[in-house]
């Protein structure tokens, strides 16, 4: 799901209405709310019930991991505050570390590349030992094998939306 092109929102009904055969509710845009004002908007929407048990019947514009039929993960509100680059970084990081945070992702992030080989080439260009190799011999070097070996040494490559995100472990 491309979460950056759709306004994050939730369709909010109640279990009582649903159990009585109705899906009456409304879409609520999350960009307009924080956690507290969102809950207030939901309760206002269903003020015809004494104690509405909210039911989130659909969602769009944010990762599924933040959605549940009877809850929204509190991390959703932090995600809504992020810019698109931060959201992409966190999405890539949490593919490997599901409960990872943006701060952890930023601390571990080594860059985004077209491939692990591209990372290896750039990484080795910064290594004085590699630069001591004569240019005429460098083309013999197997950058793919170096990248594979780096995974054993604490480097993690995550494919996300056409890029290779590189993280240290």
pLDDT over 50 (residue 21): yes
Sheet holding 163-168, edge to edge: 109-113, 163-168, 155-160
Higher local confidence (pLDDT), 141 or 3 = 141
Give the pLDDT confidence score for residue 58 in this predicted structure.
Answer: 97
Q: Give residue 1's pLDDT band: very low, low, confident or very high (50, 70, 90).
A: very low
Quick one: tokens of 78?
Answer: 């932090």
pTM of the entire predicted model: 0.72
Please name the residues in contact with 132: beta carbons below 8 A apart, sequence gap of 6 or more.
none
Phi, psi at 97, each rounded to 5°? -120, 85
pLDDT tens per residue across span 68-125: 999 999 889 999 999 989 999 999 999 888 888 899 999 999 999 999 999 999 999 9
H or E element that contains 128: helix 128-131
pLDDT tens per residue across span 31-59: 989 999 999 999 999 999 999 999 999 99
CA dihedral 10, 16, 21, 27 (to 10 degrees): -20
Cα–Cα distance for residue pair 1/95, rounded to 1 Å: 14
pLDDT over 50 (residue 152): yes
Please name the residues in contact with 116: beta carbons below 8 A apart, sequence gap of 6 or more.
144, 147, 148, 150, 157, 164, 166
CA dihedral 107, 82, 66, 158 (to 10 degrees): -40
Strand ranges (E), 67-145? 67-68, 71-72, 109-113
């Amino acid at each position: 799901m491309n979460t950056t092109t759709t306004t994050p929102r939730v369709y909010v009904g109640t279990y009582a209405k649903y159990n009585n055969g109705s899906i009456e509710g409304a879409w609520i845009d999350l960009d307009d709310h924080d956690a507290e004002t969102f809950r207030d908007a939901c309760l206002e929407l269903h003020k015809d019930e004494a104690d509405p048990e909210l039911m989130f019947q659909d969602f769009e514009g944010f990762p599924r991991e933040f959605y549940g039929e009877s809850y929204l993960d509190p991390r959703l509100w932090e995600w809504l505050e992020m810019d698109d680059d931060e959201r992409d970084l966190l999405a890539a990081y949490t593919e490997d570390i599901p409960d990872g945070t943006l701060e952890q992702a930023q601390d571990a992030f080594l860059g985004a590349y077209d491939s692990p080989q591209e990372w290896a080439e750039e990484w080795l260009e910064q290594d004085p030992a590699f630069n001591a190799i004569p240019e005429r011999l460098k083309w013999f070097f197997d950058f793919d094998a170096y990248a594979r070996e780096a995974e054993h040494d604490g480097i993690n490559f995550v494919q996300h939306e056409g890029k290779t995100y590189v993280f240290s472990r």
